[in-house]
Structure 1
Amino acid sequence: MVSYNPSYVLSFLPELLSALPLTLFIVVFTITVGSLFGGALSWAQLSGDKVLNAIAKAYIFIVRCTPPIVMLFMVFYGLPEFLKWWLGIDINSWSRTVFVIIAMILLFAASISEVFKSAFEAIPKGQLEAGLSIGLTGFQTFLRILLPQGFRIALPNITNAILNLLKDTALAYTIGLADVMGAGNLLIGRNLGNYSLETYTAVAIIYWVLALLLSLLDHTLEKSLDYNRN
């Protein structure tokens, strides 16, 4: 029968937390760049250009139908071979972190683009016409009128997308990256397979706390935006 000692959970937390900055860096960088890429995909779908719309939809469909671990392996193992064959560039010496970030950006952009698109389509068309009618440019109308409304509509789904991203980054250990999950597996290895359940409990606690903090931030922002609207 497998024994379980809760005291080991607390003793393992400090070492696992030392790997947290890497996990957070991957998440924050992915959100930043992935949101820009996702915004471009949304714009392509809403621009009215049939070619751009088709390309964006095809990309989103393919990526959203690809399991995160498959995407990670394709980027980690396939991208170096593709670039070496196509451009003669050798990127095998790149850090594993770079490959994880590339894979996460590709995945996050596809999901967040649909969030942005849905939020924009939920805004009454009259808002755009009203902004243009008072002399604002299209960009000014978007920045001052459409973006605040769209962000408030999209916020719950943005939070869900970030939570999914946070969980997907745990797959980075499969290519040897020492993030929180990777640090947990290294710890189990050093203990010769012992205390694995305690280690995974400690890893889960870290992800639970991160998810709780993100949910609290989402709740606070929603209340603030509703208050400002009223």
Structure 2
Amino acid sequence: MVKILNRLITTVPYTMLIVIISGSLGLTLAMGIAIIRIKKVMFLYPIANVYVSFFRSTPPLIHIFLVYYGLPLVLRKFGIDANEWSRTVHASLALVLFNGAHMSEFLRPAYLSVDRGQLDAADSIGMTGMMKFRRVILPQMLPIAWPNIENALIELVKDTSVLFVIGLFDIMGMAKMFIQNDYGVKKLEVYIAAGIVYWCITFLTERVFEFAEYRRNKKKRVPAGGGVL
């Protein structure tokens, strides 16, 4: 198991690269989808509803197959050859779509929790849309959405375990290769080793989020007398 762990650890940077790309782009997509659904943007609103419903109701394995096998067929109609794209691009795109749908449902209620009167007051003093979002909406949204965003990122780490189905050599892909090379011998040890690696990644992810939340709360302290939160 020590030998297997050492080999599996070498795939962690690649796995985390996919997580970071999918998580950051997924959050960006989620913000756009949440705004479309909150503002009920014409034509885009029903599309956004269908998108969220489908991707929240189906497993990520289905999304990977749809993107990897289906997207090239669709793009071919527009003269784009997606078969030349790397498997990393396909895997990241599938996880972005999956993660974006889930996180949009975390951001939407967080946005709606902001008192409408505060938004009207921001408009009355001439704040632009970006200023209003940065100074009024975001500081109140973040504490509400933060735990769910953390959970979504942890789930995203675990969702990468299905990427081996399209031949990616991430943590689980490397584990499968070990099993195949040894003709199925000592499968239990390999899976335990893979589980330990995922456990360590999620543990460290939780600590990073806790530290970030601590720093955020620390900045909210008033430096003047009393130290009131």
* Cα deviation code 1:202-229 (max 9, x no counterpart): 1111111111112122223333334444
Contact 1:27–1:166 (Cα < 8 Å) also in 2? yes
1:186-201 aligned at under 5 Å gives the runs 186-201=177-192
2:169 is aligned, of 175, 178, 200, to: 178
Q: How many residues in Structure 1 have an aligned counterpart in Structure 2?
A: 221
Contact 1:42–1:113 (Cα < 8 Å) also in 2? yes
What percentage of residue pairs aligned between the two structures are identical? 36
**Structure 1 position 136, deviation (Å):** 1.9
Query: C-alpha separation between the residues in 2 aligned to 1:121 and 1:97?
Result: 35
Once structures 1 and 2 are overlaid, which stretch shifts more, 27-36 or 130-139?
130-139
Query: C-alpha separation between the residues in 2 aligned to 1:135 and 1:83?
Result: 44
Amino acid at match of 2:150: T
Name the SS of the counterpart of 1:88 in structure 2: coil
Q: Structure 2 vs 1, CA of residues 224 and 36 (structure 1 numbering), >3 Å: closer, same or farther?
A: same
* Cα deviation code 1:16-70 (max 9, x no counterpart): 1111111111110011111111111011011143433222111111111121111
Once structures 1 and 2 are overlaid, which stretch shifts more, 122-131 or 110-119?
122-131
Query: C-alpha separation between the residues in 2 aligned to 1:64 and 1:127?
Result: 32
Task: Give me the TM-score of the superposition, normalised by structure 1.
Answer: 0.90
Determine whether 1:110 maps to 2:101.
yes
Match of 1:162 in 2: 153
Query: C-alpha separation between the residues in 2 aligned to 1:128 and 1:96?
Result: 44
Query: C-alpha separation between the residues in 2 aligned to 1:21 and 1:11?
Result: 18
Match of 2:206 in 1: 215
The runs of 5 or more residues in structure 2 that have no matched partner are: 221-228
1:64 is aligned, of 56, 61, 68, to: 56
Q: Give structure 1 regions of 4+ aligned residues with deviation exceeding 6 angstroms.
A: none
Once structures 1 and 2 are overlaid, which stretch shifts more, 112-121 or 129-138?
129-138
Once structures 1 and 2 are overlaid, which stretch shifts more, 43-52 or 157-166?
43-52
Match of 1:6 in 2: none
* Cα deviation code 1:162-213 (max 9, x no counterpart): 1111111110001111001101111122222212111111111111111111
Match of 2:19 in 1: 27
* Cα deviation code 1:80-131 (max 9, x no counterpart): 12222x1233322321111101111110110111111111111222222232
Name the SS of the counterpart of 1:123 in structure 2: coil
1:60-139 aligned at under 5 Å gives the runs 60-84=52-76, 86-139=77-130
The runs of 5 or more residues in structure 1 that have no matched partner are: 1-8
Query: C-alpha separation between the residues in 2 aligned to 1:186 and 1:150?
Result: 44
Query: C-alpha separation between the residues in 2 aligned to 1:183 and 1:45?
Result: 40
Name the SS of the counterpart of 1:136 in structure 2: coil
Task: Give me the TM-score of the superposition, normalised by structure 2.
Answer: 0.90
Name the SS of the counterpart of 1:92 in structure 2: helix
Query: C-alpha separation between the residues in 2 aligned to 1:49 and 1:87?
Result: 26
Determine whether 1:149 maps to 2:145.
no
Amino acid at match of 1:72: I
Query: C-alpha separation between the residues in 1 aligned to 2:123 and 2:48?
Result: 27
Contact 1:100–1:172 (Cα < 8 Å) also in 2? yes
Amino acid at match of 2:123: L
Match of 1:46 in 2: 38
Query: C-alpha separation between the residues in 2 aligned to 1:226 and 1:129?
Result: 27
Match of 2:223 in 1: none
